[in-house]
Amino acid sequence: MKIDEIRRVDREVKSWLSESRKRVLTEMKSRLVVNTKTGRRDLVTNVDKANEHFLVDKIRSYDPGSKILGEEGLGDQVTSSKGQVWIVDPIDGTMNFVKQRNHFAIMIALYENGQGILGYIFDVMGNKLYSGGPDLGVFENDQKISMEKNYSLADGLIGLSGPMVLSNEYNVDEVSRKSLGMRIYGSAGIDIISVLKGELVGYISHLKPWDFGAGKILLETNGFKISSIDGQPLDMLSSTTVLLGTPNAHRDVLTIVSQ
């Protein structure tokens, strides 16, 4: 995609996200309709569905030739990364949304032939939009941001998923001990924002494409590493255990989990 078109799409997506945030804030004031998906901790609400509907409609009218992978299934059956592929997570951190009315995100990514073009993570309650891509750089609202420092695992906090801590999958106990402490935020989007800002040196969680699609673009643009927990490149259409962070922390975690 040419830079002029990327800028045009960027303006357009930001206008959708601004409207989307306002709608979510309004809908949050009414009683939520909460349903479970795979279990009692995997939730979907009327707001997740309405917001995916809203965003998918916007994408379809703006870019009818593209394909859309949406968490709640209102997009398309996407089986190939050829062409333009949008990835939508209408509410990331639905448990936080339901129980805290805070610490959740709206996420959108645009890939072209598997290459990240634009990524968006909107911290709704903080009213901070993290956006950008390789051609634009990474922004917190209108402010350009960069990696603060290439921290090692021993120099910072590590974000982990609750279920992985409980099962000590991939020896995350040891990862946590080597760090300055672990944090469990419950939203991949909020964890990824924390890594971008230097508040966490890394994050480990089992994730689906809509959980990491936008974050991968923003992280790689700013020099962070993201891979599967065994160090392999991510497949944009599959779920896997994901490791992301500063290059040093990423290397430190790989060393521990491969022992």
Residues that bind ligand 2AM (CB under 6 A): 38, 42, 71, 89, 92-94, 161, 186-188, 205-208, 211, 239
Q: Does 191 bind Ca ion (CB under 5 A)?
A: no
Question: With CB under 5 A, what is the number of residues at the site for Ca ion?
Answer: 4
Among 52, 89, 123, 191, indicate the residue that binds Ca ion (CB under 5 A): 89
CA distance 244 to 234: 11
Query: What is the helix, strand, coil percentage profile of the chain, to 5?
Result: 40, 30, 35
Helices (H), 159-231: 162-167, 172-178, 188-197, 209-221
Could you tell which of Ca ion, ligand 2AM, none binds residue 187, using a CB distance below 5 to 8 A set by kind? ligand 2AM
Q: Of the two residues 30 and 38, which places its CB atom closer to ligand 2AM in the complex?
A: 38
- Asked if residues 255 and 96 have their Cβ atoms less than 8 Å apart, the reply is no
Among 10, 52, 71, 123, indicate the residue that binds Ca ion (CB under 5 A): 71
Stretch that binds Ca ion, among 49-57, 65-73, 121-129, 226-234 (CB under 5 A): 65-73
DSSP 72: T
For residue 52, give the amino acid letter: E
In angstroms, what is the minimal distance from the CB of 189 to ligand 2AM?
6
DSSP characters for 102-161? Answer: -S-EEEEEEEETTEEEEEEEEETTTTEEEEEETTTEEEETTEEE-------GGGSEEEE-
Q: Of the two residues 10 and 89, which places its CB atom closer to ligand 2AM in the complex?
A: 89
In angstroms, what is the minimal distance from the CB of 18 to ligand 2AM?
21
Q: Enumerate residues 24-53 that contact Ca ion by CB under 5 A.
A: none
CA distance 32 to 24: 11
Q: Of the two residues 87 and 91, which places its CB atom closer to Ca ion in the complex?
A: 91
Q: Of the two residues 38 and 61, which places its CB atom closer to ligand 2AM in the complex?
A: 38
Could you tell which of Ca ion, ligand 2AM, none binds residue 133, using a CB distance below 5 to 8 A set by kind? none
Structure tokens that stand for 255 in this block = 């060393």
The side-by-side arrangement of strands in the sheet containing 67-70 is: 67-70, 84-92, 105-112, 115-123, 128-133, 137-140, 143-145
In angstroms, what is the minimal distance from the CB of 208 to ligand 2AM?
5
Cβ neighbors of 115 (< 8 A, separation 6 or more) are: none
Site string for Ca ion, 196-215 (x = CB under 5 A): --------------------
Q: Of the two residues 84 and 94, which places its CB atom closer to ligand 2AM in the complex?
A: 94
Could you tell which of Ca ion, ligand 2AM, none binds residue 206, using a CB distance below 5 to 8 A set by kind? ligand 2AM
CA distance 204 to 182: 11
Structure tokens that stand for 119 in this block = 């990524």
Write out the residues near Ca ion by the rule CB under 5 A.
Answer: 71, 89, 91-92
